[in-house]
């Protein structure tokens, strides 16, 4: 735990994010017994509007309580009657879970739960959309997503309890760039500029963000894997460059990253960068190791 916290503190300094042991002691108490074997990821968002935060993400074994239940027990979040509070449990009752995950902000605290499905048993998108607590608007987008060639099965989900949103992760590496752009148009998004189009062309996955109060996708993110984030057609400010050059890692070889561009219907966009710190150990974290790279935010 001392080594992991030292890495959190070191990475926080790169981004000028305040960090203290007191903020992380509750995390160690709630989840620390699993961290030695977990997949550990640091992630940040580029740009002035997103400065001041570093996210620390980690995988959890599927046995026992899901991360939302643990977060409630330890007072990280408050109980809610909103469907966001029941979606993880309902999904777990209907589909096999290979591993869970948590997104924890150094400043913002507990933010998200993730569920990663077995690599050979992804839920069909249409069946997933029928889960009662899933945002109802997702069912209206199933036909469009499958018609344009996106994987008709869900590899993972992310539940954001601060924003009451749901991310749905779909494979995109086999989808033509033209169909990726057609999806943006079908969702009512404006045409991206040349730099964003180049990024989308290289993307291997996408994850739309839905909420329970709108029929539209609140945001769409496209992800790219790389060992050289500076080569991506994305803007890199000084903190992002420092993060890319100096973020610690404990596996052999060069640093490995996933970068994402987040698009909004208004035309606004921003970039996110995730860096692996520790790769998962053991079969119980295999799905997280394979699919957390999709979840750059």
Tens of pLDDT, residues 91-108: 999 999 999 999 999 999
Q: How confident is the model at residue 282 (pLDDT cuts 50, 70, 90)?
A: low
Which tokens in the block code for residue 130?
A: 């029928």
Give the DSSP H or E segment for 95.
none
Cα torsion 44, 138, 157, 197 to 10°: value is: -40
pLDDT at 151: 77
Domain spans in the chain, listed from the N-terminal domain onward:
2-294
- The tally of CA atoms less than 13 A away on the side-chain side of residue 44 is 29
**Cβ within 8 Å of residue 228, ≥6 positions away:** none
- Other C-beta atoms within 10 Å of 246: how many? 13
pLDDT in tens, 179-210: 999 999 999 999 999 999 999 999 999 999 99
Q: Which run of H or of E encompasses 48? A: none
CA distance 129 to 134: 6
> In whole numbers, what is the pLDDT of the chain averaged over residues?
93
Angle at 133 (CA atoms; ends 145, 285), nearest 5 degrees: 75
pLDDT in tens, 224-260: 999 999 999 998 899 999 999 999 999 999 999 999 9
Structural tokens at position 10: 């070191």
pLDDT of residue 285: 44
The mean pLDDT of 119-135, rounded to a whole number, is: 96
The rounded percent of the chain whose pLDDT value lies above 70 is 95
Task: Name the packing angle between helices 2-14 and 21-31 (round to 10°).
Answer: 140
Q: Which two tokens stand for residue 1?
A: 């735990």
CA atoms lying within 13 Å on the CB side of residue 161: 26
pLDDT given for residue 292 in this prediction = 47
**283: confidence class by pLDDT, cuts 50, 70, 90:** very low
Mean pLDDT to the nearest integer, 33-51:
92
Is a pLDDT exceeding 80 seen at residue 295? no
Q: What is the pTM (predicted TM-score) of this model?
A: 0.93
């Amino acid at each position: 735990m001392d080594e992991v916290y030292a890495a959190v503190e070191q990475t926080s300094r790169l981004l000028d994010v305040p960090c203290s042991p007191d903020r992380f002691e509750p995390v160690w108490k709630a989840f620390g017994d699993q961290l030695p074997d977990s997949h550990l990821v640091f992630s940040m968002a580029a740009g002035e509007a997103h400065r001041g935060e570093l996210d620390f993400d980690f995988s959890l074994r599927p046995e026992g309580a899901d991360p939302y239940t643990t977060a409630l027990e330890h007072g990280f979040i408050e109980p809610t009657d909103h469907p966001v509070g029941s979606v993880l449990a309902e999904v777990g009752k209907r589909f096999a879970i290979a591993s869970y995950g948590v997104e924890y902000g150094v400043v913002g605290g507990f933010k998200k739960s993730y569920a990663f499905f077995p690599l050979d048993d992804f839920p069909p998108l249409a069946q997933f959309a029928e889960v009662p607590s899933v945002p109802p608007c997702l069912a209206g987008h199933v036909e469009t997503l499958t018609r344009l060639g996106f994987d008709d099965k869900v590899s993972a989900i992310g539940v954001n309890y601060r924003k009451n949103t749901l991310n749905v992760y779909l494979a995109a590496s086999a989808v033509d760039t033209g169909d990726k752009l057609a999806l943006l148009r079908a969702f009512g998004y404006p045409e991206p500029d040349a730099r964003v189009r180049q990024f989308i062309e290289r993307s291997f996955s996408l994850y739309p963000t839905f909420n329970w109060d709108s029929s539209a996708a609140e945001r769409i993110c496209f992800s790219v894997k790389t060992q050289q984030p500076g080569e991506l057609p994305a803007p890199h400010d000084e903190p992002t460059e420092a993060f890319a050059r100096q973020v610690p890692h404990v596996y052999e070889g060069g640093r490995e990253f996933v970068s994402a561009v987040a698009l909004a219907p208004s035309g606004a966009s921003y970039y996110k960068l995730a860096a692996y710190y520790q790769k998962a150990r053991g079969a119980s974290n295999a799905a997280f190791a394979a699919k957390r790279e999709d979840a750059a935010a």
